[in-house]
Amino acid sequence: MVNEREVKYDEFARFILPVGPVHPALKEPFHLKIIVKREEVLDVELRLGHVHRGIEFLAENRNLIQAIYLTERICGICSHSHTTCFIQALEEVGGLKPPERALYLRTLIFELERAHSHLLLLGIMAYQIGFDTLFMYTWAAREKVLDLFEEITGNRIHHAMNVIGGVRWDLTPKMAEKTIRVMKDIEVTTRRIYDFFRGETVEKRLSGVGLLSQHDAHELCVVGPTARASGLVFDVRKDDPYAAYGDLNDSFSVISKKEGDSYARTEVRILELFELINIVQAALDRLPNGPINLGESPVRLMRRIPRGEAISRVEAPRGELIYFVKTNGGDGLERLKIRTPTLANIISLKKMLIGCEIADVPVIVTSIDPCLSCANRITLVDHETGEVKVVNADELRRKKS
Amino acid sequence: MWKIASRSRIKSPWIFHLNTGSCNGCDIEIVAALTPRYDAERLGCVLVGSPRHADVLILTGPLTSQMMPRVVRVYEQIPEPKAVVAVGSCAISGAPFLGSYSIEGPLDRIIPVDVYVAGCPPRPEAIIRGIVTAVKRKFG
Amino acid sequence: MIWEALKSLFKKPLTVQYLTKPDEKVPVPERYRGKISYNRDACIGCLLCIRTCPAGAITADERKVSFSLDRCIFCGQCSETCPRKAIEITSKFEIVVYTKSEIASQ
Amino acid sequence: MIALEILLATLPLVFLLSLLFEGIDRKVHARMQRRIGPPIIQPFYDFIKLLVKENIVPTTAARSIFNASPSLAAASSIVGAAIPLANLIARTGIIGDLILVMYLLTMSSIMIVVGGSSSGNPYGAVGFSRKIMMLIGYEIPLLISVVSISIKAGPSLIYYDIILAQIKSDKCLACAYISSATAALTFLLCISAAVGVVPFDIPEAKTEVIHGPLIEYSGPQLALLKLAKSSTIFSLSLLAFTLFFYFPTIYELSIVLGEIATLGACLLGSLMVMLLTVTLPRTVFARLKIGQAFKTYWFFPLPMAITSLMLSVLGW
Ligand code: SF4
Ligand code: SF4
Ligand code: SF4
Ligand code: SF4
Ligand code: SF4
Ligand code: SF4
Ligand code: SF4
Ligand code: SF4
């Protein structure tokens, strides 16, 4: 909604530029209505909901095992975060304790996933500023991580790693060796990528663009690298350790930057890549022996989960991911509620976008690393107050008809 | 003469990719197909930004109700001749999202699909093969 | 960057020339979850796989089961659930078809 | 006075060469990214494919301008490339042909954005305003550098005279005079903006304005626009090479090996120029913002061009 009081313009110089839902800068559909004057952005309006699939609703109608795969398919980039978060909640309800080795393997995949996700973002960022070569470089490096996934879990994207009470695939010594090797490679490449990002043209495009002050970041409840780049030090892995992060606490530190611009957000991700390489190495060093799951049939385990509820959170690549799970005592779910990181972050877009140039829009949007397949639940009407209006499924359906 | 035209068409499929509610899994694999490892450009594939430039429409996702009118519009915007490739299991049948109130899919209820590439997500190689198969069949 | 680019000019490209060179392919690892194969004789008809398939790809069929592979999301859960190991995951991944019904036969 | 026939005969040659140049550009670009890249004749496939595709004219477009501008753009850039090539072959020239060529090339890039802004798409309009900004940025240094070199070579505004001057003086102009060297540098720097590739593809940025002016074009119209672009690249690289780096040895080649060798050497040289000024920057730089690009041109090539002009007037 255009705020008429605030927008001063001569009628002819201003026009509305629709960005999305189908736009090459956005790999996924969401709609930004941008009101511009020549090159300057005066106002933005954000509309989500194009990929809403009603997963929470679907999960409530399926049994727990089916729901695992459903949560995995909320998103292809942090699929493992979703299943981990979900299964942690189930295990809490059921009082199941996965064996140590399983926790370590979960952590391992988790960090590899962060590696692939961060490299992906760096590539997309380069692509947005027209730097195809850098995009190709980072994505070529990312392929190595995907190869690891494929070898360990059998798929490049949807790992199907987690089962109730443990993990499904074990790590053979050969794979462990390869993982170490790949991590070394990634470290070298990341170093080089870091150099490219510090290079003249790239830094020019990113620094000072899309400022989000610490105060605003706090106010808008942003999470993950977006928050950390605005000076908030907050990381679920440290603050509320899950899986094996408690044991690995000494192997990494939380990266935080003060600047709060797109460059800082990118830099935080690059530095996190170095941290996660340490985590992976530490995890492989300390990897205990033993079983990788409870060894019972999945169907029996599923039936053992009583009625109850739990909240679980993990630090997905894009920030804190929260699951609220309420089981019905049979083998199904009574309620599933997911708070995804992008949804928390996307609200901050409006703050960042107003006043920037058209050329900065893709940069800023990418810098919070939005991937909307999890964020599509609401229609957001955001005025100066930062107020959020949630439109539920019924309303959405009514709107459609 | 006609042979040259059809050969050129096969050799230069320009792709427009549309996400109809997918989980990103297939989308990133499509992008991965353009990167050095798979390099779809050696077969002439280029990802274009406007449907008006495209020859091949790649669709992913189970088709949510919000995206449905847009899919139709994009399909109509692509100049003839055009091919449609549905990538991923959820584009083929809507599974595992079938049964949701906001899913209109499967895709082929709305627009004609020439080639289906199964997988969740399919490997980039399979996607490339899907594109090549589609243009060969449609334009050959 | 300039150096890097010029150096790459003379390095071997990373591309795996799938389709343009015969038999070139990114290696498919052993665990790859591709198309499933079903051994009807080993199946005892317990129908557990139907209960756990997240995509509804399995239906009961004459005391045993049948698969609609166009719905399969290649998760491998059925193979894990099956007490008789009647379902196996193969590493076949190039499932490219003209009509949905062909998926099973590919 | 060159015969009209020669000019006409070079038109298809320009067409072939500019698409070939584009193919090589794409291949080298890909190799620098460690990819195989498309086959070198890929632009021909693209061109033919687009030519036989359906042409859609959006209802919001101002029809006549929308339809006419691609052909005009393509025609002027092809003629703009054909004149120097024909002159090279025929070894003559007409008065003012250099100015005509520069005018045609500018015309072509203006036609592209005019067509885009007539499409009624807001992105086309953004592309238009960006292009005009860019035009002011690079066109002035570009023209000044041409003027400076023509003062050195005569003064004469005949393209072939400048080449003759280089043959006579036994040195290529860029090596002979400081003023010409700076002019050459200016010209080279301006090429990537004039043809609109990364880092200066701002009017057509894919992720920002979805190909800007090209967004609504499809089929044959798009083919013509692409052709206009690649023949502009070809023409500017040819000009840059022959105006500044025409070593007399190239001329002597024709005595030994026949005229075709001279032409071949010129084309090879301009290929080098293209790789250096188009392919390399677009591989190793990120896209600039319009303000940054504008500044870049006013702070660096413009003063350089003016210096070069003054130096050449002073006879350096
Ligand atoms: S619309 Fe409501 S019920 Fe449906 S999935 Fe979203 S939050 Fe759940
Ligand atoms: S956006 Fe949220 S509610 Fe909608 S499908 Fe995705 S996870 Fe479910
Ligand atoms: S739901 Fe969002 S806005 Fe509300 S308190 Fe939580 S993070 Fe803040
Ligand atoms: S933020 Fe959401 S869509 Fe993006 S990777 Fe995470 S879960 Fe997936
Ligand atoms: S936002 Fe409101 S309606 Fe939606 S899930 Fe939360 S409490 Fe329920
Ligand atoms: S097929 Fe699978 S990976 Fe592809 S979009 Fe659908 S759920 Fe995601
Ligand atoms: S692999 Fe998964 S989706 Fe496919 S049939 Fe088995 S359980 Fe169902
Ligand atoms: S779980 Fe195995 S044995 Fe049971 S019905 Fe399925 S295939 Fe047959």
Which CATH number belongs to the domain containing residue B35 in this structure?
A: 3.40.50.12280
pLDDT of A387 over the 50 cut: no
pLDDT tens-digit series, residues A338-359:
887 877 777 777 777 776 766 6
Q: Measured at the alpha carbon of residue A330, what is the angle toward residues A328 and A334, in degrees to the nearest 5?
A: 25
Which are the contacts of C42, defined by CB distance < 8 A and separation ≥ 6?
Answer: C84, C85, C86
Contact residues, chain C to chain A, C-beta under 8 Å: 1, 4-5, 14, 29, 31-33, 48, 51-55, 73-77, 80-81, 83, 89
Average pLDDT along chain A: 75
- Helix D4-32 × helix D259-274 angle, to 10°: 40
Residue B2, domain member (yes or no): no
pLDDT of D233 over the 80 cut: yes
* pLDDT given at position D316: 65
Ligand 6 center from residue A299 Cα (angstroms): 25
Residue B6, domain member (yes or no): no
* pLDDT given at position A34: 66
Confidence of residue A223 (pLDDT cuts 50, 70, 90): confident
Confidence of residue A381 (pLDDT cuts 50, 70, 90): very low
Confidence of residue A333 (pLDDT cuts 50, 70, 90): confident
Gyration radius of chain B over CA positions? 14
Q: Do C80 and A66 touch (CB under 8 A)?
A: no
pTM for this model (two decimals): 0.82
Assess whether the C-beta atom of A15 lies below 6 angstroms from ligand 1: no
SS (H, E, C) D166-207: HHHCCCCHHHHCHHHHHHHHHHHHHHHHHHCCCCCCHHHCHH
pLDDT of A106 over the 80 cut: yes
Average pLDDT over residues A83-103: 86
Q: Do C54 and B93 touch (CB under 8 A)?
A: no
Length of chain D measured in residues: 316
B121 lies in which domain range?
Answer: 11-139
Closest to C89 in 3D by CA, of A25, A168, A32: A168
Distance in angstroms (rounded) separating the CA atoms of residues B128 and D159: 49
* pLDDT given at position B104: 75
- Residue of C37, C74, C82 with the most ligand 7 atoms within 8 Å of its CB, for mutation: C74
Confidence of residue A6 (pLDDT cuts 50, 70, 90): very low
pLDDT of D173 over the 70 cut: no
The owner of tokens 């992913």 is B60
Neighboring chain B residues of A143 at a CB cutoff of 8 Å:
32, 35, 37
* pLDDT given at position A42: 66
Closest to A318 in 3D by CA, of A374, A364, A360: A374
What ipTM did this prediction achieve?
A: 0.80
Residue B3, domain member (yes or no): no
**Between B119 and D57, whose confidence is greater?**
B119
Q: Do A126 and D286 touch (CB under 8 A)?
A: yes
Q: Which of residues 144-203 of A touch C (CB under 8 A)?
A: 147, 150-155, 158, 160, 163, 168-169, 192, 196, 199
Average pLDDT over residues D287-315: 75
Assess contact for B44 and D20: CB atoms under 8 A.
no
pLDDT of D300 over the 50 cut: yes
pLDDT of A380 over the 50 cut: no
Q: How many Cα atoms occupy the beta-carbon half-sphere of B63 within 13 Å? A: 23
* pLDDT given at position A388: 36
Least confidently predicted of B32-36, B53-57, C15-19, D297-301: C15-19
* pLDDT given at position A11: 37
Ligand 1 center from residue A378 Cα (angstroms): 9
* pLDDT given at position D61: 67
* pLDDT given at position C59: 82
Least confidently predicted of A118-127, B86-95, B99-108: B99-108
D284 touches chain C (CB under 8 A): yes
Q: What percent of chain D has pLDDT over 90?
A: 0
Neighboring chain C residues of D25 at a CB cutoff of 8 Å:
none
pLDDT tens-digit series, residues A285-326:
888 888 888 877 777 888 888 888 888 888 888 888 888 888
Q: What percent of chain D has pLDDT over 70?
A: 84
pLDDT tens-digit series, residues C33-43:
888 888 888 88
* pLDDT given at position A93: 86
pLDDT of B109 over the 60 cut: yes
Assess contact for A77 and A249: CB atoms under 8 A.
no
Least confidently predicted of A92-101, A106-115, D25-34, D206-215: D206-215
Q: Is A285 exposed, middle or buried (0-12, 13-18, 19+ CB in 10 A)?
A: exposed
**Number of structural domains in chain B:** 1
**Between A48 and A153, whose confidence is greater?**
A153
Domain positions in chain D are 4-314
**Number of structural domains in chain C:** 1
Average pLDDT over residues A169-178: 84
Distance of CA D126 to the CA centre of its chain: 23
CATH architecture of the domain formed by A55-345: Orthogonal Bundle (1.10)
Ligand 8 center from residue C58 Cα (angstroms): 10
Assess whether the C-beta atom of A134 lies below 6 angstroms from ligand 4: no
Question: Following DSSP, what letter does each residue of B32-96 receive, concatenated?
Answer: HTTSTTT-GGGGT-EE-SSGGG-SEEEEES--BTTTHHHHHHHHHHSPSS-EEEEESHHHHT-TT
pLDDT tens-digit series, residues C40-83:
888 888 888 888 888 888 888 777 888 888 788 888 888 888 88
Helix (H, G, I), strand (E, B) or coil at A323: strand
> Which atom of ligand 4 is found nearest the CA of A77?
5
Residue C23, domain member (yes or no): no
pLDDT tens-digit series, residues D242-273:
777 777 776 666 677 677 777 777 788 888 88
Average pLDDT over residues C6-28: 71
* pLDDT given at position A5: 35
Which CATH number belongs to the domain containing residue C55 in this structure?
A: 3.30.70.20
Comparing CB atoms, the residue among D34, D46, D216 nearest residue B36 is D34
Residue C22, domain member (yes or no): no
